[in-house]
Every structure is written in structure tokens, then in C-alpha cells.
Structure 1
Amino acid sequence: MIKKGIGRQIVLHYFIVVFVTLLLVEGIFTVVIRTYYYDTIYNHISNHSTWASDYFQKFVRLYAEKDPNYFTEMLRTFELSNTELMILNNKGEVKASSTHFQADKTIQTSDVPQAIAGVQGSKWIGRQPTTGELVMSVSTPLQVRGENRYIVRYVTSLEEVNSKLMSLTVFSVGIAGAVLALVTLFSIGLANSIVKPINNIRAVSAQMARGKFDVRIKGNYKYELGELASTLNFMAQEIVRSNQIKDDFISSISHELRTPLTGIKGWSETLTSGGFDPAETKIGVGIIAKETERLIGLVEEILDFSKLQQNEMKLVIGRVNLKELLQEIMLNVWAKAEQRQIQLQLDDKSNRTLFVIGDGNRLKQVFLNIVDNAIKFSNENSWIELVVSLQDNNQVLVEIVDSGIGISEEHLNKVKDRFFQVNHQGGGTGLGLAISQQLVELHNGKMDIHSELGVGTTVSILLPLIEQSEADEMKEDGDNNLLNGNQIDGRPEGNIGYE
């Protein structure tokens, strides 16, 4: 007995389909073979009765109707083997019979009235009233000068034919049963070939659900089952990788938090003890302020990422002068670049004022993070170039190109993943590029990274532009809103949240 499940359903469905098909075939076969046998018998008798009707014209010239042997000769002349021959008058009364049985009543089966009416080879199938035997009778009128004089009626038993038909039916049912059994066995094998892999996949996925992500689905499965197994294995692999990245992140963020906290704690305890001159006190307070800002930055980065993951990031939408934004970013990082003797350049190939619609502070966060990374991972006495160019479909492309250490091909596809860090010793949370990617997408833009190890990195950001007239209109509306104490609320198409 197959237990409940997909296996039983497969076997049951196969069984039902094949059973119904065989039942239909068996029914059609039985009807066709029965019809064939009955029609063969009827055609044989009908042809003979037609010959008898034609020959009767000659018979009446050879034998006189008043001759005592008239009906005897008629029976002998028109007889047919394995068939009872009856000679009836035009009233249906039996005048002679090859069985020498004289019926007391007229024959009233449907073939006789039809023959009286002149129908050639009229047929009736039914059971004999006296014996209950299934018979076929064929009646044909015998005419003399256009007048129905007699009726020749042939009666043959169908019991032997039915017996042969029953044997054929039993034989065909046996074949159908064998086919059904074979198909059932085949369907059980097919069901097992499907259910066993599913059970294996289910067992492994249950272990994964309990947190055992080191297990894998083994087996060379084909088609959808193979794809499902590969997907689950890939999922487990990605979960392991994500857990490893998360663990690395926790370790990294713990270190990042401990360092400024240690500095703050140390200088606060030192300053509390007193006895320092104003210069030393100023240095200590400065360090505390610097480390506090560093802590705030780390916490804000984590909060931003959390908001993005929960789709709770709100953007203050307005028009943004892209060139002014990039120049402001260059001023913000100029001192850091000067310390490492890195040259910053802005190359505006558009030669026009470019406006994008979005949140200026968030766009600044994106570009500032990318330029800061470029400085962090560039060698001394190198350069970083910000290239602005117009693209088709009213878009602007900003490329941040550096000649730094570059990123290996192995790490290039992962740098935008959350918590991923190429160099764990470089500090940070590994969330900067992931946040930047999502912020660019919120502005209906696209961010790509191209890099070659030892050569440098190019980060490309594609953003939609707004026309100058639209920008002026937004500025005018924004100024009016500001005068009224309202926030500028530009609403472009796209998945952007608003405050």
C-alpha cells in the first residue's frame, strides 16, 4: 500500500486515466466486434433470401401450388445450413418449417410485417418465446407477378456467436488487466523516482530550517528537481556566506566602536583627574569631539541601512545642481586628499548647468562615500577625477575615476553586498556601497563599478536630468513654499519616499 502523498496521487491519476481509456477501448471493441459478427451473419442470410426471392419466379413454373410436395420442395430448394427455414403466407401464418414445427399463432416479430409490406431482407433479433434462445430472423417476400404470395423466413441461433464474442471479450479484458497492471507498476516506479528526490530535498531543507546550513542536497537530479536542489544548495551557501559576512561585520563594528570609545573614556578620565594646562585640555577635548563624531557617523550609517532595508528611508525632494554638489564634495575631502598628496579634478564635459531631481543631502552622501573610498584606497601622489557627461534619454553620467589599488575580479561582484569588506583592516562597516547603491536606485538611477587590480577603479552613476525650465519652475515653487513655511516637495516618477 502506497502511503499518502504525491506518490499515491501520481499512481492514482495514472491508474484512473489508463483505466478509463481501456474501458472506452474495451467498450468500443466489444460493440465493433459484435456488430461485425452480426452483420456478417445477416449479410449471408440476406443474400441467400434475395436469391430465394429471385429463384421463386422459376420455382412456380416448375411446381404447381396444389402439388402435395409443393412446400416440401420449397424447403429443400431454399434451405440454408445451420438455419431454420420457415415458409409463411402473406398473413404471417406458418405453412411449412424445416424443423417440422407448426406454430399455432401467426408470427408477429417485426421482420414479418415488414416483409408483408414488401421490404426485402427485414431483420429481427430477439429471444424465442418457447426456448428463450437469442436468434436472428431475416424475412423476404416471395412475389408472383408483383403480388406477395409467400414469405421466406430464416432463423438462426446467436448463442454460439455470443459465446465466441464472450471469449473474445474475456480475452481482451485479460489483456486490458495486464496492461493496467503494467502501467500501475510503471507509475509506481515513476512516482518513486519523483518522490524519493523530493523526500531527500525535504529532509535536507528541514535540516537547513533548523540552522544546519553546512548540509547539501546530493544527487544528480534532472529538470525542475535539479533546479530546486541547486537553488536550495545555493541558498544555503549564500546564507553561510551572509552569516560569515555578518560575523565579520560584528567583529569589525565592535572594533570600530571600541576604538573611539577607548579614546573618549581615556581622555575623559584623564581630564577629570585635572592638572592639565589649557593646551593639553584643548587637545583632549578635541580628540573626544573627533571620536564622538566618528561614533555618530557609524551609528548613522547603520541606521540608514536599517531604514533602507525596511523601506522607511524618506527623501526631501527638490532640484539639485549637480556641478555645485560635486564641487562641494571636493571641498569637503580636499584636506584629506592633500594629506596624502592626491590630486582631485572635476572634468565637466557637458558645458552646461545640470539639474537632477532628488534629495541633495542623500546624493551628497553617495558621492562623498565614493570619493572618500577612492582617497582611502589610493596611493600617495596619485589622482582622482570626477567626470560629468551627458547621455542619451536625458540622463547624466558621473564617473569617479581613481588610479588606486583597484579591486580583484573575485571581490568586484561582492563589493556592493552589505557588510562586505575587501580589507577588514581598513575600518568601516562594509555598508557604505550598499547604502549608496540603494540611494541611487531610489533616485531612479544606476550605479556600476569597474575595476582592475593594481590599475584603479571607476564608479559610474547614471541619474535622470530635468530640463532647465522645469528646474526654474521647481525653484520658484520651492521659494514660494519656503516663504509659506513649507517644505519643497518635488515628486518625480519612481519609488521615492517623502517626508
Structure 2
Amino acid sequence: MIKKGIRKQIVMHYFIVVFSALLLAEVIFLLAIRTYYYDSIYSHISQNIRNVEDIYQKFKPVSDDLGSDDLSYMLSSFELKGTELQILNTQGEVLINLSEFQPDVAIKTSDISQALSGNTGRWVGRQIGTKEDVMAVSKLEQINGQDAYIIRYITSLEYVNDKLLNVTLLAVSVGAAVLALVLGFSMGLANSIVRPLNNITAVSAQMAQGKFSARVKGDYRYELGELAATLNYMAEEIIRSNQVKDDFISSISHELRTPLTSIKGWGETINSGGYDPEETRIGMEIITKETDRLIGLVEEILDFSKLQQNEMKIIMGRVNLKELLQEIMLNLWTKAEKRNIELRLNSEDRPIVIGDANRLKQVFLNLIDNAIKFSHEDSAIDLIVHEENGKIITQVCDTGIGIDEEHLIRVKDRFFQVNPLNGGTGLGLAITQQIVELHHGNMIMQSKLEEGTTVIVTLPLPKKEDIPGELI
């Protein structure tokens, strides 16, 4: 007994389909064989009637009343081996026949009515006296253009039916053998599907218990192969995500510890007293700087959390990108000046977009700050703004260290850092990407190692129906 499951479903479906098709084919085959044999008997008797009629044309009684001699002569002339011959009048009464049995009543079977209508009648049924299956074939004969008598042949179908029974038993045996083969084949097919599924299920159970090193082994094909590959890929991604998470926790712990150590150290130093005002001023500057750094880290984490939960609020308005970039350049001018990096802006007049000014400032501040961080000294960073195909395109181009192809495809992933030693949470570009998408735009990064990086931010132009607002 096959237990419930996919295996049973597959076996049952195959078995039912093949059984139905086989049953239909056997029924059609047996009906065709039966029809063939019955039609052959009917054709043989009908052909005999036609042949005898051609010969019998020489004998035509002048009178409508047939004598006993006439009937006997007709009986001997139309006789056919293996059949019983009867001559009936038009009322279906038997005038003479070859057997000793003489029916007392008129014959009313369908072959008689067919013969009276001018056709060669045929009837298959059970003989009243002998109770055997017979076929009766009747034909109306005329004398002087008048319906005179009916020639009726009766032949037993017992022999034919025995042969048909043997053929039926043979067909059933063949069908049973075919069904047995199909059952075996379907069970093999079901096993070939269920066995990999059981393996995949077992591996999935291990992964559910946290054993992400488990893998689906085996060269499976088609959908099963895709399922196994997807499951293995999922496990690899979970391991990678866990590693990224661990790296992030380690990195953020270091990032938080460093400024806290400085704040605590200078706080204890200042609290102890005995230092001159200049040293106290320097300590307070360091405490302020490190506090701002902590606030930036916390805000970055909070922003990412809001984006993940779709809770970040965007206040839309009309924003002049040129003025926004000029403001950012002023904010970062001191940092760029320390490394002798020139910030150059090439923009169309008043490039207007619809967006949140503060969030867009966060986007470009992060991009330009990264460009400064990874540019060589005595270099330049170009900020290019232009309109193209109904879009405002902003490019941040540097000639810095660049990013290799392996890291470029992952650089916008959350928590990912090309070089963890550079500090940060690895969330900056992930947040930037999501903010741009919230503005119905997109961000593309192009980079080559030691040749520089270009970040392209595309934002839609405002429509006429957009609500006007103050430019920043």
C-alpha cells in the first residue's frame, strides 16, 4: 500500500490516465471486431441472396399462389450452408423452412419490417426456441411486380461469440499487463521525484535549525534542480548576511568605542582640573567633534531603520539642485581644502526637481563626502547637472582610487564596506539608494580601480500640476 503523499498522487494519476485510455481503446477495439464479424456474416448472406436471385430469374411462377413443389424448389435453390432458411409470406407467417421446427405464430422481428420496406433486413437477437444468439437476414421477393414472399436466413452466432469472448479475454490480459508495467513505471518515476524532494526537505529542516552549512547534494534536473540551487543559494546568502551582520556589529562597536573613549578621557582630564585654558579648549573641541560623530552614526542607523520599516517621512517641494549642491560644497570646502581637492560645479540654470530638500542634501552630501574621502590629493571632483529626456541627471565624478568590479556590484548593499578599516557603518550608500528611489529616481555607480568613480543620480522633472513651493 502506497502511503499518502506526492508519490501516491503521481502513481494514481498515471494509473487513472492510462487505465482510462486503455479502457477506451479496448472498448473501441472489441466493438470494431464484433462489428467486423457480424458485418462479414451479413455480407456473406446478402451476397448469396444476390447471386441466387440472378440465377433464379429463370424461375418465376406465373401465379401468385405458390404450390408446395414451388416452395420446395425455392428452398433448395436458396439454401446456404451453415444457415437455416425460411420462406415467409408478407404477413410474416412461415410457409416452409429447412428445420423441423415450424413456428405457430407470425414472425415480427425487425428484419421482416426492413425487408417489407425494400431493404435487406438484419436482426440480431435470441432465438425463441433454442435460446441461442442468432442473426436473421431477410429479403423480399416479388412475382409479377407484386410482393410475394420473404426469404429469411437464420445463422447461429454462438461460435462467433465464443471467438469474440476469447479475443476479449486476450485484450483484458494484455491491458492488465500494460497496467502492471505502467504501475511499475509510475512508481519509479514517482520515486525519482519524491527522493530528491525528501532530500531537499531534510536539508531544509537542518537549515531551519540554524545549520546553514548544510547543502542539497545531487545533480537534479529541471525544476528540482532549480529548487535545490535556490535553496543552496539562500543558505549562502544567509551565511553572508550573518557575516555582514557580525562585521557590522564589530565595526559599529569599534566606531562607537573610539569616540566614547576620547570623550571619556578628555572628560576625566578636564574634570580633574589643573590644566591651562588652552588645553581645556582643545579637549572641549575634541569632545564636541566626537559627539557629532556619534550623533552621525546613530542618525545613520535610525535612518536605515526607518527606511526598512517604511517610516521615513518625505516632505515634497520644489528644490533647486544647483543651489543645493553649492550649499553642500560650502559645507565640505574645508575638508576638501585640507587635501587640496578642488570641487567644481557645472550646472544648468535653476535645475528644479520635486523632492525633500533635506533628504536630497543627505544624498549628495554622502556622495561628495565619499568622493573626497577616496580621492587622491591635488585632484578635482566634478559635479555635473543637466537635463536629458525629461530627467534631471546629476553626476559626481572623481579620479580617486576607484572600486574593483567584484566590490562594485555589492557596494550599495547594507552593512557592506570595501575596506572596514576606513570606518563607518556601511549603511551610507544603502540609505542613499533608498532615498533616491523614494524620489522616483535611480542611482548608478560606475568605477574602475585606480581610475576613479562616477555616481549618476537621475530624478524626474516636475510636472505642471505639481504644487509650487519655496525654492531652497
Q: TM-score, normalised by structure 2?
A: 0.94
Q: Percent identity?
A: 61
Deviation at 1:389, TM superposition (A): 2.1
Q: Which residue of 1 aligns with 2:82?
A: 82
1:140-155 aligned within 5 A = 140-155=139-154
Asked if structure 1 preserves the Cα contact closer than 8 Å seen for 2:141 and 2:147, the reply is yes
1:484-499 aligned within 5 A = none
Q: Which residue of 1 aligns with 2:177?
A: 178
Q: Judging changes above 3 Å, is the alpha-carbon distance between structure 1 residues 276 and 68 closer, same or farther for their aligned structure 2 residues?
A: closer
Deviation at 1:108, TM superposition (A): 3.0
Q: Which residue of 1 aligns with 2:306?
A: 307
Q: Which residue of 2 aligns with 1:71?
A: 71
Deviation at 1:91, TM superposition (A): 3.5
Deviation at 1:47, TM superposition (A): 2.4
Deviation at 1:104, TM superposition (A): 2.8
1:302-381 aligned within 5 A = 302-348=301-347, 350=348, 352-381=349-378
SS for the counterpart of 1:150 is strand
Q: Which residue of 2 aligns with 1:33?
A: 33
Asked if structure 2 preserves the Cα contact closer than 8 Å seen for 1:407 and 1:453, the reply is yes
Could you give the per-residue CA deviations for residues 265-319 of structure 1, whole angstroms, max 9, x where no partner exists? 1122222222233222222222222111111110000000000111111012111
Correspondent of 2:416 among 410, 420, 428: 420
Asked if structure 2 preserves the Cα contact closer than 8 Å seen for 1:42 and 1:138, the reply is yes
Deviation at 1:230, TM superposition (A): 1.6
| Mapped partners of 1:118, 1:239: distance in 2 | 88
SS for the counterpart of 2:468 is helix
SS for the counterpart of 2:461 is strand
Asked if structure 2 preserves the Cα contact closer than 8 Å seen for 1:49 and 1:139, the reply is no
Unaligned runs of 5+ in 1: 480-487, 489-499
Deviation at 1:76, TM superposition (A): 1.8
Q: Which residue of 2 aligns with 1:382?
A: 379
Q: Judging changes above 3 Å, is the alpha-carbon distance between structure 1 residues 316 and 62 closer, same or farther for their aligned structure 2 residues?
A: closer
Q: Judging changes above 3 Å, is the alpha-carbon distance between structure 1 residues 83 and 62 closer, same or farther for their aligned structure 2 residues?
A: farther
**Given the alignment of the two structures, is residue 451 of structure 1 paired with residue 447 of structure 2, yes or no?**
yes
Give 1:293's aligned amino acid: D
SS for the counterpart of 1:439 is helix
Q: Judging changes above 3 Å, is the alpha-carbon distance between structure 1 residues 158 and 370 closer, same or farther for their aligned structure 2 residues?
A: same
| Mapped partners of 2:353, 2:260: distance in 1 | 40
Asked if structure 2 preserves the Cα contact closer than 8 Å seen for 1:319 and 1:474, the reply is yes
Q: TM-score, normalised by structure 1?
A: 0.89
Unaligned runs of 5+ in 2: none
Q: Which residue of 2 aligns with 1:496?
A: none
Q: Judging changes above 3 Å, is the alpha-carbon distance between structure 1 residues 257 and 64 closer, same or farther for their aligned structure 2 residues?
A: closer
Asked if structure 2 preserves the Cα contact closer than 8 Å seen for 1:53 and 1:141, the reply is no
| Mapped partners of 1:131, 1:101: distance in 2 | 10
Q: Which residue of 1 aligns with 2:110?
A: 110
| Mapped partners of 2:407, 2:117: distance in 1 | 101
| Mapped partners of 1:265, 1:2: distance in 2 | 72
Deviation at 1:431, TM superposition (A): 0.3
| Mapped partners of 2:455, 2:107: distance in 1 | 107
Asked if structure 1 preserves the Cα contact closer than 8 Å seen for 2:256 and 2:294, the reply is yes
Asked if structure 1 preserves the Cα contact closer than 8 Å seen for 2:402 and 2:450, the reply is yes
Asked if structure 2 preserves the Cα contact closer than 8 Å seen for 1:111 and 1:139, the reply is yes
| Mapped partners of 1:238, 1:268: distance in 2 | 44
Could you give the per-residue CA deviations for residues 406-441 of structure 1, whole angstroms, max 9, x where no partner exists? 111111111100000011110100000000011111
| Mapped partners of 1:67, 1:227: distance in 2 | 92
1:113-128 aligned within 5 A = 113-115=113-115, 117=116, 119-128=118-127
Asked if structure 2 preserves the Cα contact closer than 8 Å seen for 1:57 and 1:143, the reply is no
Asked if structure 2 preserves the Cα contact closer than 8 Å seen for 1:53 and 1:140, the reply is no
Q: Judging changes above 3 Å, is the alpha-carbon distance between structure 1 residues 114 and 292 closer, same or farther for their aligned structure 2 residues?
A: closer
Give 2:277's aligned amino acid: P
| Mapped partners of 1:305, 1:66: distance in 2 | 117
**Given the alignment of the two structures, is residue 198 of structure 1 paired with residue 194 of structure 2, yes or no?**
no
| Mapped partners of 2:394, 2:287: distance in 1 | 37
Correspondent of 1:442 among 413, 438, 441: 438
| Mapped partners of 2:270, 2:296: distance in 1 | 24
Q: Judging changes above 3 Å, is the alpha-carbon distance between structure 1 residues 101 and 273 closer, same or farther for their aligned structure 2 residues?
A: same
How large is the RMSD of aligned CA atoms in angstroms?
2.3
Could you give the per-residue CA deviations for residues 451-496 of structure 1, whole angstroms, max 9, x where no partner exists? 11111111111112337x878x713xx59xxxxxxxx9xxxxxxxx
Q: Judging changes above 3 Å, is the alpha-carbon distance between structure 1 residues 294 and 146 closer, same or farther for their aligned structure 2 residues?
A: same
Q: Which residue of 2 aligns with 1:484?
A: none
Correspondent of 1:433 among 408, 429, 432: 429
| Mapped partners of 1:215, 1:193: distance in 2 | 22
| Mapped partners of 1:377, 1:449: distance in 2 | 14
| Number of positions where the alignment pairs a residue of Structure 1 with one of Structure 2 | 472
**Stretch deviating more after TM superposition (428-437 or 268-277):** 268-277
SS for the counterpart of 1:34 is helix
SS for the counterpart of 1:130 is coil
Q: Judging changes above 3 Å, is the alpha-carbon distance between structure 1 residues 157 and 353 closer, same or farther for their aligned structure 2 residues?
A: same
Give 1:354's aligned amino acid: P
Q: Which residue of 2 aligns with 1:265?
A: 264
**Given the alignment of the two structures, is residue 406 of structure 1 paired with residue 402 of structure 2, yes or no?**
yes
Q: Which residue of 2 aligns with 1:485?
A: none
Could you give the per-residue CA deviations for residues 308-333 of structure 1, whole angstroms, max 9, x where no partner exists? 11111101211111111111111111
Q: Which residue of 2 aligns with 1:474?
A: 468
Deviation at 1:263, TM superposition (A): 1.2
Q: Which residue of 2 aligns with 1:245?
A: 244
